[in-house]
Structure 1
C-alpha cells in the first residue's frame, strides 16, 4: 500500500485540501443562512443549486478537457470556485447564493473529473482497487476535517469563507506541480433512463431516492441544526457524524455484499437508516442521541450508493457497465436536486423535525421497494455477482466507471480461480 501511495500522494493531498474547503462551505451555508434569516425553503433551493451545477459539470467538463486540456480546465475551475466561495459574503441574498452554488457545483464536478482521470491513469489493474479506496478515504477525511475547522471561526463574518477559499486555492499546487502528463478523458454516453430501469428497476429507483437522502443530509443538516438551536460547534459535530459513519460501515457492508443477496442487504441497510431517523426525530434535540442517529443514518447512505452500483452491474455485460454508470450518476443527481427541495418545503410547513421525517420516509421507500423486487426477480447467484467497491456519492462518472471496470476484473479473476480449483471431470 505504501508503494501505491508513493505515486499518488500529491493527488490525494490536493483532494483532501479541496474537500476541506468544499466541506466547510456546505456547512457554512446553513450556519450563515440562519444568521441572515433565510427560510428553510430558500436554503433548500440554495442547496439544490449545487447539485444542478454538479450534474451539468459532469456532462460538460469532459468536452472542455478534450478542447483545451486537463491543466487549463483544472486551473480555471479552481479559480472560479475559489472566487465563488469568497463571493458568498458580498451579497447575502438567496438568489445570489443559488447562482454561486450552481457555479461551485459545476466547478467541483469538473475538478473531480480531471483529478479522477489522473488518478485512474496512475493506477494499474493490480493497484486500481487500492488507489480508489485511498481516494475515497481522502475525500471522507477531508469532509470530516472541514467540520473541525469551522469551530475555529465565526460564521457571522467572512473569515471562514476566506479560509475555505484559501484551502481550495492551495490545493491545486501539489496536483499541478507533480502530476504526470494528463490522460485523455473518455466518458461513456449515459444509458437512457428507460433502458437503465429495464435492466435494474431497484438500482434505478433506489439510487434516485438515495440522491435525495444524500443531498438532504449534506446540504440541510446544518439548516436543521440551526433551527433546533444547536451551537456552531454542535452543528459541525452533527455534520461530521453524518460522514464519519461511512468509514465504519463501508467495509463490513462491502464484505457482506459479495456473500449474500444484495437486495436483502439493501433492505436491511435502508431499514437501519429509517430506524436511525426515527431515533433522531424522537430525541427532542438531546445531543448524544442526535449524534448517534446522524452517525447511523449517514453511515448507511454511502454503502447503499455502492450497493446500488454493484447490484445494477450484476445484470449487465461488461460492455454495458460504463454507460450504465453514467446513467446511474445522472439519476442520482436528479434525486439530489429534488430531495432538498422537498425537505426544505416540509421543514417550512411542519417544522425542523421534518428533516428526519423526510429522510425516514425515503429510507422506508427504498426498503419497501427492495422487498417488492425480491418477489419479482430471481436472486443472482452470489458467485456471479460483481465485486463491491466503496464509491462515494461525490465521485464523478470517471471514478464510477473505473470502479466498475475493476469490479468486473476482480469477479472474472475470482471465477477463473474457482474454475481452476475444480477437479477434472
Structure 2
C-alpha cells in the first residue's frame, strides 16, 4: 500500500482537490438556490443536469482524448470547470444554472477519465486493486472535507464559489507536473445491452435504481436541508454523514460479499435501506437521528454499487468483465438523470419527507425485484470475482480498472472457471 501511495500520491492529491471542488458545488447550489427563491422543481432540474452532462462526457471524452491527447483535454475541461464555478454566482438564474450544470458535469466526467487513466497507467496488475482503494478513500474524504469548507463563508456572496474554482485549478498542478508521459488511451468496446441484461437482469435493474438513489443523495440532500430549515453547519454535517457512512460500511459489506450469496446480500441490504429510510417519513426525528439515517443510506447505496458490479461479473467470462462495465455505467447514469427530478416532484407533492420516501421506494423495488429474480434463477454461481470497492462518482476508466481487478481475482480463484448460467 505504501509503495502504491509513494508512486501515485501526486495523482491522488490532484484528484482529492477535484473532489473538494465538486463536493462543494453540489451542496452550495442547494443552499444558494433557496436564497435565490428557486422552487424545488427548478432546483431538481438544475441538479439533474449535472448527470446529463456527466453521461454525455463519459461517451464523448474518450474520443476527444484520442484526437487531441490527455493534456489538452485535461487543461481545456479544467479551465471550463473553474469558469463555471464562478459563473454560478455571477448569473443566479435557474435556467442558466441548468445549462452550466450540463457543462460542468461533462467537464468533470472528462477530467475524471483523464486523471483515472493516468492513475491506472501508474498501477500494475498487482497494485491496481490497492490504487482503486486509495482512490475511493480520497474521493470520500474530499467530498466530506468539502462540506466543512462551506462554513468558512457566506453562501449569499462570491467567496464560496471562488474557493472551489481555485481548488480545481490547483488540482492540475500536481497531476500535470508528476506525469512525464501521457498513457496510451483506449476503452473497451461495450457489451451489448441485450447480452448484459441476459447475463444479469438483477444487475442491470439494480444499477438503474441505484443511479436514482445516488443522484438523490448527491444532488438533492442540500435542497431537502434548506426546505426543513437546517443551518449551513447542520446541513454540511448531514451531507458529510452520507459519505462517511459510504466509506465506513464499504469494507464490511465487501467482506460479506466475498463470503455469502451476493443476491441474498443485495436483497437484505435493500430491505434494510427501505425500512430505515422510511422512518423519517413516518415520524419526526431529532437532527442527529436524521444524520444517522443519512449515514446508513449512504452506507448502503455506495457499497451496493460495487456489490452489483461484482455480482454481474460472477455471470461473465473474465474477458467480458471490462466490456460490461461501460454498459453498467451507462445504465446507472440513466437512472441518475431521473433521480433528482422525481425526488423534486415528490418533495413538492408530499413535502420534504419525499426526499427519503423516494430512496426508500427505490430500495423496496430493488428488494422485490431481487427476491423475484431468485425464484427465476435458482442457481447462482460461486463468487468467481472479488469485490472491488469503487465510488459511483468514478468514470468508466476506474470502473473498467475495477473489472480488471475482478478478472484477475477470477483467474486466481479458478483458472479454469467458466461463466455461470
TM-score exceeds 0.5: yes
2:342 aligned with 1:342: yes
Contact 1:276 1:294 in 2 (8 A): no
Q: Which residue of 1 aligns with 2:106?
A: 106
Distance in 2 between residues matched to 1:243 and 1:282, nearest whole Å: 24
The SS at the match of 1:8 is helix
**Cα displacement (A) at 1:293:** 0.2
Distance in 1 between residues matched to 2:275 and 2:290, nearest whole Å: 13
Q: Which residue of 1 aligns with 2:405?
A: 406
2:46 aligned with 1:46: yes
Distance in 1 between residues matched to 2:413 and 2:194, nearest whole Å: 32
Structure 1 segments unaligned to the other structure (5+ residues): 419-425
Q: Which residue of 2 aligns with 1:9?
A: 9
Contact 1:272 1:297 in 2 (8 A): no
Distance in 2 between residues matched to 1:363 and 1:280, nearest whole Å: 15
Q: Which residue of 2 aligns with 1:165?
A: 165
2:136 aligned with 1:136: yes
Moved more, 317-326 or 367-376: 317-326
**Cα displacement (A) at 1:281:** 2.5
**Cα displacement (A) at 1:74:** 0.4
Q: Which residue of 1 aligns with 2:221?
A: 221
Q: Which residue of 2 aligns with 1:28?
A: 28
**Cα displacement (A) at 1:271:** 1.4
Deviations 1:111-154 (A, max 9, x none): 11101100111001111110110011101100000001111111
Q: Which residue of 2 aligns with 1:322?
A: 322
Structure 2 segments unaligned to the other structure (5+ residues): none
Distance in 2 between residues matched to 1:278 and 1:255, nearest whole Å: 27
Contact 2:129 2:402 in 1 (8 A): yes
Distance in 1 between residues matched to 2:339 and 2:193, nearest whole Å: 19
2:392 aligned with 1:393: yes
Distance in 1 between residues matched to 2:131 and 2:353, nearest whole Å: 40
Paired residues for 1:253-332 under 5 Å: 253-284=253-284, 286-332=286-332
Q: 1:316 to 1:381 in 2, by over 3 A?
A: closer
Deviations 1:255-297 (A, max 9, x none): 1111111011101111121122122324525201000100000
**Cα displacement (A) at 1:155:** 0.8
Contact 2:46 2:98 in 1 (8 A): yes
Distance in 2 between residues matched to 1:70 and 1:111, nearest whole Å: 9
Once superposed, what is the RMSD of the aligned Cα atoms? 1.4
The SS at the match of 1:277 is helix
Distance in 1 between residues matched to 2:160 and 2:282, nearest whole Å: 33
Distance in 1 between residues matched to 2:173 and 2:124, nearest whole Å: 25
The SS at the match of 1:183 is coil
Contact 1:47 1:98 in 2 (8 A): yes
Q: Which residue of 2 aligns with 1:422?
A: none
TM-score, structure 2 normalization: 0.97
TM-score, structure 1 normalization: 0.96
Contact 1:153 1:159 in 2 (8 A): yes
Paired residues for 1:78-93 under 5 Å: 78-93=78-93
Q: Which residue of 2 aligns with 1:149?
A: 149
Distance in 1 between residues matched to 2:185 and 2:209, nearest whole Å: 29
Distance in 2 between residues matched to 1:285 and 1:76, nearest whole Å: 46
**Cα displacement (A) at 1:416:** 5.2
Distance in 2 between residues matched to 1:331 and 1:415, nearest whole Å: 30
**Cα displacement (A) at 1:417:** 12
Task: Kindly tell me the number of residue pairs found equivalent between the two proteins.
Answer: 417
Distance in 1 between residues matched to 2:119 and 2:325, nearest whole Å: 18
Q: Which residue of 2 aligns with 1:185?
A: 185
Q: Which residue of 2 aligns with 1:231?
A: 231
The SS at the match of 1:37 is coil
2:51 aligned with 1:37: no
Q: Which residue of 2 aligns with 1:246?
A: 246
Distance in 2 between residues matched to 1:231 and 1:386, nearest whole Å: 44
Contact 1:128 1:406 in 2 (8 A): yes
The SS at the match of 2:343 is helix
Distance in 2 between residues matched to 1:87 and 1:243, nearest whole Å: 27
The SS at the match of 1:177 is helix
Distance in 1 between residues matched to 2:165 and 2:18, nearest whole Å: 9
Contact 2:384 2:413 in 1 (8 A): no
Q: Which residue of 2 aligns with 1:423?
A: none
The SS at the match of 1:319 is helix
Q: Which residue of 2 aligns with 1:353?
A: 353
**Cα displacement (A) at 1:345:** 1.0
Contact 2:384 2:409 in 1 (8 A): no
Distance in 2 between residues matched to 1:408 and 1:178, nearest whole Å: 29
